[in-house]
Amino acid sequence: MSQDRHVAGGPDERATSEVIASLIATTQALVKKEIELAKLEMQGILVDKAVAVGSALVAALVALFILGFVGVTGAKALEQVVAPWIAWAIVTGAYTLVAVVLLLVALRFARRPVVPERTKASVEETVAWAKQVASETATKEPK
């Protein structure tokens, strides 16, 4: 099947069946490329998310040790002003408040949808192109 007979902007002298066969082959190749793009984009997204989660876990572990020392230091300092049990209750309340706020922030971020934007845009362009080609092919008279 020779496609070099078709000049851009000029009349296409191929038979309708040849044009349809070419359109099907091109569409199949395009769909395969769209799927390949989606896979690559999703792999990139997953790698980014995995790095973020790993880094966050290590930071959380270190922060856990720091929080322990800060809590003890804060409670001991408050013992100078109030009764020991009140000092420890204040520190516990502050930690609880921070944990709840962080949990709410995490839930907000976790609920964000992950959409491969480039693939979506590319598929929309492909659908528009296919509709245009199909309408142009349908309006041509068979030879």
Write down the mean pLDDT value for the chain.
86
Q: Domain for residue 4, yes or no?
A: no
Assessment of whether the complete model's pTM goes beyond 0.75: no
Give 50 or 118, the one with higher predicted confidence. 50
Contact 31, 123 (CB under 8 A): no
Q: Domain for residue 5, yes or no?
A: no
DSSP 55: H
Q: Domain for residue 6, yes or no?
A: no
Q: Domain for residue 3, yes or no?
A: no
Question: Residue 32 pLDDT > 70, yes or no?
Answer: yes
State how many domains the chain has: 1
Question: Residue 49 pLDDT > 60, yes or no?
Answer: yes
**Residue that has been written with the tokens 């309006």 in this structure:** 139
Exposed/middle/buried for residue 113 (C-beta within 10 Å: 0-12, 13-18, 19+): exposed
Q: Domain for residue 124, yes or no?
A: yes
> CB under 8 Å to 68, separation ≥6 — which residues?
none
Q: Domain for residue 9, yes or no?
A: no
49 vs 55: CA distance, rounded Å? 10
Full domain range(s) for residue 80: 16-139
Q: Domain for residue 83, yes or no?
A: yes
Question: Residue 142 pLDDT > 70, yes or no?
Answer: no
